[in-house]
């Protein structure tokens, strides 16, 4: 049995990820290892933040660890909010305020192209790895749908007719940026378990 810490305090993420992992891989929570503090996220890129979180736990607690970080990159805004997606409209990390600001900044813009990017970083033994998941789409002009979280009501994935917030969690989890990155991580872990 391979045991790994998933460096997140977010229980929803934890559940989603555990449900996608094969039987031979078990997640240990931050609570299990006695880490109740917030993990620093001060890097200037999504990749940097994911790696910073995984390394922090590996170095401080000694466990093999993985961590994720996600951002929404909007082309017409120079790839903002990107690594600052959670706090786009301020430190309160208010999803509604973030969407309001995004829609205001997109007013009058014809190019509505955007993408969600997730990186899973893994510190295993002495090595570190990263796995990327990207989903392209468009920023809508108005909110549509009430499911999901974050920017879901204004993100219309490519080749879809509904925003992420108009899909069930199950539908979103089949195609999302996080699912794509997570599948790459799982494939890698499976190959390590088989070694
Ligand atoms: P985190 O790195 O997963 O905490 O994500 C940072 C921020 O990106 C969140 O606070 C949300 O605003 C946004 N975000 C991440 N994943 C999603 C998603 O699946 N849908 C909508 N917004 C997301």
Total H helices, total E strands in the chain: 5, 7
- In angstroms, the CA 93 to CA 34 distance is 25
Please, what's the b/e burial string for 99-120 (b: 16 or more CB within 10 A of its CB; e: otherwise)?
beebeebbeeeeebebbbbbbb
Average pLDDT over residues 168-194: 91
Torsional class of 148: left (φ above 0), alpha (ψ -120 to 50), beta (otherwise): left
Is residue 120 within 6 Å of ligand 1 at its C-beta?
A: no
pLDDT in tens, 146-163: 999 999 999 999 999 999
Measured by CA distance, the residue closest to atom 10 of ligand 1 is 86
- In angstroms, the CA 54 to CA 127 distance is 11
Q: What percent of the chain has pLDDT over 70?
A: 100
- In angstroms, the CA 46 to CA 190 distance is 25
pTM of the shown model: 0.94
- The confidence score (pLDDT) of residue 69 equals 97
Is residue 64 within 6 Å of ligand 1 at its C-beta?
A: no
**Catalytic residue among 32, 64, 68, 69, which?**
69
Measured by CA distance, the residue closest to atom 3 of ligand 1 is 70
Tell how far the Cα of 4 is from the centroid of ligand 1, in angstroms: 23
Average pLDDT over residues 59-77: 97
Measured by CA distance, the residue closest to atom 13 of ligand 1 is 150
Is residue 73 within 6 Å of ligand 1 at its C-beta?
A: no
**CA nearest 182: which of 23, 68, 35, 25?**
68
pLDDT in tens, 108-125: 999 999 999 999 999 999
**CA nearest 136: which of 168, 88, 89, 180?**
180
Average pLDDT over residues 59-75: 97
């Amino acid at each position: 049995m391979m045991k790994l810490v998933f460096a997140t305090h977010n229980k929803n993420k934890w559940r989603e990820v555990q449900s996608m992992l094969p039987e031979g891989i078990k997640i240990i929570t931050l609570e299990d290892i006695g880490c109740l503090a917030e993990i620093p996220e001060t890097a200037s890129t999504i990749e940097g933040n994911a790696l910073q979180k995984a390394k922090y736990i590996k170095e401080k607690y000694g466990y093999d660890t993985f961590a994720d970080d996600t951002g929404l990159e909007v082309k017409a805004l120079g790839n903002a909010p990107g690594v600052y997606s959670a706090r786009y409209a301020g430190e309160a990390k208010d999803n509604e305020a973030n969407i309001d600001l995004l829609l205001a900044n997109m007013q009058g813009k014809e190019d509505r192209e955007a993408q969600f990017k997730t990186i899973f970083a893994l510190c295993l033994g002495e090595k570190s790895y990263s796995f990327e998941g990207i989903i392209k789409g468009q920023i809508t002009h108005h909110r549509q749908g009430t499911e999901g979280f974050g920017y879901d009501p204004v993100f219309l994935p490519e080749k879809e007719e509904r925003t992420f917030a108009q899909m069930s969690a199950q539908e979103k989890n089949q195609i999302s940026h996080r699912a794509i990155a997570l599948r790459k991580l799982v494939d890698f872990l499976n190959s390590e378990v088989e070694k």
